[in-house]
Amino acid sequence: MEQLNGHQGENESLDTEDEDEAVQPPLKQSRSKNDICNNFRVDSCGKTEATSTTTGGGSVIDERRTSNSTCRQRLDSLRKNRPPFPWFGMDIGGTLVKLVYFEPKDITAEEEQEEVENLKSIRRYLTSNTAYGKTGIRDVHLELKDLTLCGRTGNLHFIRFPTQDLPAFLQMARNKHFSSLHTTLCATGGGAYKFESDFRQMADLQLLKLDELDCLISGVLYIDSAVSSPSECYYYENPTDPEHCVQKPFTLENPYPLLLVNIGSGVSILAVYSKNNYKRVTGTSLGGGTFLGLCCLLTGCSSFEEALQMASQGESTRVDKLVRDIYGGDYERFGLPGWAVASSFGNMMCKEKRESISKEDLARATLVSITNNIGSITRMVALNENIERVVFVGNFLRVNTLSMKLLSYAMDYWSHGQLKALFLRHEGYFGAVGALLELLNPS
């Protein structure tokens, strides 16, 4: 999914509305999500019966307390409305395409026979590989096994590839005669709009376009409720003490109000007051795309992984000007610690210093300044919105422990322990999950 930030334009409407509604959380989204919620209950119910593995939090259990008979009734009615396989959810962002695929594991012999060859081949192709072409990757560690969706049990797969390789993907869809399956392809993210005609023309596919923020939120709420072990949500304990900073599971029960910070190419910050009541408070254009873009220009690297790798080996304090570089120590007059960054890239004003640093230092400094900036904007939004719980998601955080720890530290330190930074394991896939949910339970 892609985050859009408001800059260089004059007509963003959401921000103004925010101001009048600081006390009473606004009902911005008129679309009702009640259908979806009901269906979730049924699904969970079915899942409990089938696998008995769910142990989830209190609120989820409450929701599941439905009698078996009602359960079956709904199951039956559902079966009729269930969309045909394959079940995909797609989020086409500015940098990455995120794809979630539900692989049914409860296929009956009867179904097996009915299943057309195209569908079988797609299923086999996706589930038997972990990499597709040069750039497509299946995040196996994120796979959710034995998940029950719409009365069907199966595995949820998480796949990503760069947006610039979308033409290759469409070519593949065409080769595999995807259009013959008569499935609805639910897609969100800006690319759903931008590439809609490409889907139609190149692969004869009709997209069902979905709002990315709606999808993001439904995806987050669903995954958090459906996944119990390992816990979807976690935080870093002792973020200000590097020695004892450890990842700990966190139960997101009764999470509202909640600040959801989605860091993709850019950043969107949402205040979520309930399942269907949220607003986009603001955003910033300094996001993952900025980190990677600057790293590419500064170090000549070509991938996010490479940039992160470099950053992990660099030293940002050679690039940045710290408070102590100016004041020799803390700036006590204003309570600023000597280690705080006074000016990102500030040392680079000097020729000699420009010549004395490594690419790794530059990558690290870029990572630190982008991350800290997101942290400080988030903290200010949290204060303005009076929200204490912050959940960071988005692909910028993928394999990026450095940033997560920095964010944890920043939230904790500057808020004097008031704010808690939370993270979700499926970082960047929530939009795609939300899109899949729309396929199953159209609102």
Which CB sits closer to other proteins, 279 or 425?
A: 279
221 CB neighbour count, 10 Å cutoff? 25
The H or E element containing residue 104 is: strand 96-104
Q: Determine whether 212 is an active site residue.
A: yes
The one catalytic residue in 2, 212, 427, 438 is 212
Measure CA 198 to chain center. Answer: 25
Map tokens 């409305």 to a residue: 81
Which CB sits closer to other proteins, 131 or 380?
A: 380
Q: List residues bridging with 237 in a β-sheet.
A: 246
Which CB sits closer to other proteins, 235 or 392?
A: 392
Within 44-73, the residues that bind other proteins by CB under 8 A are none
Within 84-103, the residues that bind other proteins by CB under 8 A are 93-95
Give the separation between CA 82 and CA 105, rounded to whole angstroms. 16
Site map 164..203 versus other proteins, x via CB under 8 A:
x------------------------xxx-xxxx-------
114 CB neighbour count, 10 Å cutoff? 10
Task: Give yes or no for a contact between 5 and 248, defined as CB atoms under 8 angstroms apart.
Answer: no
- Pure H helices in 227-358: 288-299, 304-313, 323-327, 351-355
Within 209-248, the residues that bind other proteins by CB under 8 A are 211, 213
Task: Give yes or no for a contact between 104 and 152, defined as CB atoms under 8 angstroms apart.
Answer: yes
- For other proteins, which stretch binds (CB under 8 A), given 34-42, 78-86, 119-127, 373-381? 373-381
Locate 113 and state its tokens: 């026979």
Judged by CB under 8 A, does residue 380 bind other proteins?
A: yes
Among 54, 369, 371, 408, binds other proteins (CB under 8 A): 369
Distance of closest approach, residue 215 Cβ to other proteins, in angstroms: 12
- For other proteins, which stretch binds (CB under 8 A), given 73-81, 287-295, 387-395, 418-426? 287-295
Task: Give yes or no for a contact between 155 and 95, defined as CB atoms under 8 angstroms apart.
Answer: no
Among 170, 272, 381, 419, binds other proteins (CB under 8 A): 381
Give the separation between CA 355 and CA 353, rounded to whole angstroms. 5
Judged by CB under 8 A, does residue 372 bind other proteins?
A: yes
Measure CA 179 to chain center. Answer: 28
C-alpha angle 164/170/175, rounded to 5°?
A: 140
Distance of closest approach, residue 115 Cβ to other proteins, in angstroms: 35
Distance of closest approach, residue 411 Cβ to other proteins, in angstroms: 15
- For other proteins, which stretch binds (CB under 8 A), given 147-155, 170-178, 245-253, 345-353? 345-353
Which CB sits closer to other proteins, 183 or 188?
A: 188
Catalytic center residues: 212
